[in-house]
Amino acid sequence: MAPPPLLRLDGVRLTFGGTPLFTDVELGVLPGDRIALVGRNGSGKSTLLKIAAGLVEADGGEVFRQPGATIRYLAQEPDFGDALSVESYVAAGLGPADDPYRVTRLIEGLGLRADARPNDLSGGEARRAALARVLAPEPDIVLLDEPTNHLDLPTIEWLEEEIRSIRSAVVTISHDRRFLEKTTSATVWLDRGTVRRINEGFGAFEAWRDKTLEEEERDLQKLDRKIVREEHWLRYGVTARRTRNERRLAALHTMRADRRNTRRAMGTVEMAAGETRESGKLVIEAKSISKAYDERILVKDFSTRIQRGDRVGFVGPNGAGKTTLLKMLIGEAQPDSGNVRLGTNLDLAFLDQKRASLDDTLSVSEALTDGRGDQVMVNGEPRHVAGYLKDFLFQPEQIRTPVGNLSGGERARLLLAKTLATPANFLVLDEPTNDLDMETLDLLQELIANYPGTVLLVSHDRDFLDRTVTSVISPDVGGKWLEYAGGYSDMASQKRGAEKEARKAEKPKTSSSASTSSAKLAAANGSAKLSFKQKFALENLPKEIAKFEAAIAKAEAEMADPALFAKNPDRFAKLAAESERHRAGLAKAEDEWLELEMLKAEMES
């Protein structure tokens, strides 16, 4: 028998501004659930979480919370109140029976200072402190609203492990596909006021969603054809006011009403970058650049060449120096040593992660045009702001809305619209994925992948990096930065390969010692010879090694096609994963063969 739900929403409805946000929402959370709550920006995901947490009152329906069950909610914008330190802020989330040691463990695990003042924290540090407060009591239900926003990759990976290890049921809103794939076992889709659920993690969601929408579109087409047939009958087939005809007429009116009330899936963002002249082939050349602040070395002896058409990703922990390196490369900051040469005909468009270029006091229209009328130039053609903003899912009535009243996702879309309207051949995007829904992310990925100019991209979204960039620049130790071909997964694969090679280089000494001990033990027992199993392995391992080498060569030959990543990123990722798997098998086979060869030599001597 299934355990009773910790939380249940039955027939919940809510209306904002005359338009129903929810009409009949059903949602249940059982102990141990790991639920992804997904939907378009503006569909009401955050509001639904707030209703579940008891922070917003629904217009109707029933909200049941199991008596005694504890619920903690992570808001997109944490409120520190009058907390004097991170430790006191996190500890304030504990109940009387909770373990105070978890406060210390979480603060340390998240890399925070216990005595830091909450209001002095950066955006990433504030999000980590809020996470610690929510997770510290290990509540029965944790409701997370965009938990990965402003977090760096090490913290995101830490959070993935924490979610997998805690006993709490977790409901998560996030745009980070990789994070959802790793942390969820069920998916709830909030779409046009109702919810649908599959008891599979987010990895299965998108194929299911696409199939559902296709079936829905077919049903609407059938309804449209039926209405046409009935209208034809109404015009030409009514011969008398018989009861049967009246019922048929009533059925037609019902079908028309159903068709009018059908809410189609929301439109898609139309996205194109402003075109300009072509830049020179060389965009950036950096030679041995270095930068330090207060004796802390952020960048040391870094060199790179970036050419027209390159799409370069920057990853690394917060504070590692990504922004510093980026600013040196685009000429906004000077290196302490070395030099940077910029190419010719560069027209730069910059997307700021802090949305600093948006003035909250301006209307949406004024923010887009900088107050210069009601038209915006896109690819050399004038467009009315209402039409252009509609491409980014803004309604005509929103163009006079103050920027300060927009949601995080709407601000992100407005800044994208403003940035992409700027004629440019060189895009610099700093955390462009924050607050964007997945459909908008898909289009942004497509735009970047097909962009004819050059892109520098700072992101902690692993899936987004895999789908967009041609190389990744990542910090090493001591201010060193290394560049890797491919996306994030390729970088991770290459790093693992380098670590294995380093371990392999150190292994012969250990293997020799172990082999000598084995040989001496065998000699003492009067059996200084290989076993049948060892002989069989020694004879067959070279064949296995050859197979692994051939498979790696085949995969890398196909990956060497420079157009493969842009044309088929899924195939590229699959080949990279296969290559990594074959390399792991090759390393294991080589180590085993080497150990057996050394053991044989010891025995023969």
322 is in an annotated binding site: yes
Range list of β-strands (E), 308-423: 311-314, 337-342, 348-351, 375-378, 381-384
478 is in an annotated binding site: no
39 is in an annotated binding site: yes
Alpha-carbon gap, residue 27 to 195, rounded angstroms: 8
43 is in an annotated binding site: yes
45 is in an annotated binding site: yes
The candidate with the shortest Cα–Cα distance to 385, out of 360, 416, 364, 403, is 364
135: its two tokens: 């997770």
Alpha carbon 157 to its chain's center: 12
Alpha-carbon gap, residue 245 to 239, rounded angstroms: 9
Burial 44-79 (b: 16+ CB within 10 A, else e): bbbbbbbbbbeeeebeebebebbeeebbbbbbbebe
487 is in an annotated binding site: no
318 is in an annotated binding site: yes
Tell me how many degrees the CA angle 275-278-281 measures, rounded to the nearest 5: 145
Alpha-carbon gap, residue 553 to 543, rounded angstroms: 15
Give the type of residue at 456: L
User: Cα dist. 72→50, 131, 389 in Å?
Assistant: 10, 10, 37
What does DSSP say about strands 375-378 and 454-458: parallel, antiparallel, or unpaired?
Answer: unpaired
Burial 588-597 (b: 16+ CB within 10 A, else e): ebbbbbbbbe
Alpha-carbon gap, residue 333 to 25, rounded angstroms: 52
* CB contact at 8 A, 582 and 496: no
Give the type of residue at 23: T
Alpha-carbon gap, residue 535 to 554, rounded angstroms: 30
The candidate with the shortest Cα–Cα distance to 197, out of 75, 34, 6, is 34
* CB contact at 8 A, 196 and 231: no
546 is in an annotated binding site: no
509 is in an annotated binding site: no
Alpha-carbon gap, residue 200 to 191, rounded angstroms: 18
The candidate with the shortest Cα–Cα distance to 343, out of 408, 285, 388, 276, is 285
8 is in an annotated binding site: no
500 is in an annotated binding site: no
Catalogue the long-range contacts made by 519-523 (C-beta closer than 8 Å, 24 or more residues apart): 519/599, 519/602, 519/603, 522/603, 523/603
Q: Which helix (H) or strand (E) segment is 471 a member of?
A: strand 471-475
Alpha-carbon gap, residue 429 to 7, rounded angstroms: 40
The candidate with the shortest Cα–Cα distance to 481, out of 293, 326, 282, 307, is 326
List alpha helices for 349-487, DSSP H.
364-369, 385-390, 408-420, 438-449, 462-468
Alpha-carbon gap, residue 297 to 475, rounded angstroms: 12
Annotated binding site for ATP: 39-46, 316-323
Annotated binding site: 39-46, 316-323
